[in-house]
Amino acid sequence: MVTGIDEWFWTAHCCVDTYFGSEQGVEAYHDSTLDAPTGGERLISQPAWNPREYFLYILSRRFRQTMKEWRITVNVIEGRLQIHEATIFHVTGQAPLSDDIKINRTREYTSTVELLRLLCNAITKTIESWERSEAGELLYFLVDEQTTLQKKWDGYVADIMKDSNELRSLRTTLRQKIETFDNMKSGLVNVSAMVESRVATDQGKNIGRLTRVTVLYLPLGLGTAIFSMAIMPESASWIWYALVVALLTLVTSAMTFLNDTIKNVAMVIWEHLTC
C-alpha cells in the first residue's frame, strides 16, 4: 500500500506472509542492502522515486512470487496424485476398481477432491483480485505525457498479466484433477454396487439350490409322519410307505420344477373344455 499527499511525499507499506521461513526478515534485507518490499529485487541505494512505479514494480515481483509458489504446489500435488493413483489401481490380487468393506478408497477420493477444491478456490481468489484491479484501477497508471515511464509501467503490467495467465493454467490443471477424481469416485461407487449386486445374485442362486434340495426331503418327512400316526395299522407294509413317498415326491417335484408347464397345460385343457 502506498499513501501520501502527492508523488513527492509518500510512504509504502508491504505486508508479506512469512510462514515456513519463506521470507526473510526486515533486518536481513537491511543487512544485505536489499529492498524488502520487492523481495530483494533491487538495492536500497537504487530507490524508485515515483510511487506508482514503485507500486507496480512491487506488485509484479510479488505476483511472480505467488505464481512460482502456486506452480510448485500444483506440481507437487500432481506428483503425489500420480503416486496415489498407482497405489490404488495396482494392488496385487484385487480388482482395479473394487473397494473394500470400509470403503477406504472412496474416502480417499472424497478427501482428495475436497483438498483440490480448496486449492482451486484459493487460486481463483488471487486471479479474481487481479481481474478486478485490472478492470477498475489500471487507469491510474496512464501517463501519456511521460512516454518512457509509461513504457516501463506497461512492462510491469504485462509481467503481471503473463503470470496471471499462468495461474489460470494452473487452475485449469486443478479443475481437471477434480473432474478426474470425481469420475474415479463415481466409477468406484458404480463398480462396488455392481459387485454387491453380483454377490446378492449369487446368494439368491444358492438359496434357490437349497430350496430345491429341501423339496426332495419334504415328501420323505410327510410320508414318515403319516405312517407314524397311531391310526395306521401295524400290519401296514413298507411297500405302501414307499408308494406314498414316491407319489408325494412326484407331485411336489412337479409343482416345484414344472409349475409353469403345468399351468400352461391346464390353460390349454380349460380352453378346450370351454370351447
Distance, CA of 52 to CA of 136 (rounded, Å): 15
Count the residues in the chain: 275
DSSP-derived secondary structure letter, 142:
-
Predicted TM-score of the model (pTM): 0.62
HEC letters along 39-63 = CCCCECCCCCCCHHHHHHHHHHHHH
Beta strands in the chain (DSSP E): 2-4, 10-12
* Residue percentage of the chain with pLDDT more than 70: 75
244 pLDDT higher than 60: yes
Highest mean pLDDT among 24-28, 92-96, 112-116, 152-156: 112-116
pLDDT the model gives residue 236? 63
Which residue, 67, 53, 68, 72, is CA-closest to 12? 53
pLDDT band at 117 (very low <50, low <70, confident <90, very high): very high
Mean pLDDT, residues 180-192: 74
Distance, CA of 199 to CA of 176 (rounded, Å): 34
Q: How many CB atoms sit inside 10 A of residue 203's CB? A: 10
Mean pLDDT, residues 25-41: 79
219 pLDDT higher than 50: yes
9 pLDDT higher than 70: yes
243 pLDDT higher than 60: yes
pLDDT band at 92 (very low <50, low <70, confident <90, very high): very low
Mean pLDDT value across the chain: 77
pLDDT band at 170 (very low <50, low <70, confident <90, very high): very high
Distances (CA, A) of 79 to 72, 83, 96, 113: 11, 6, 20, 15
The grid cell for 146 is: 511521460
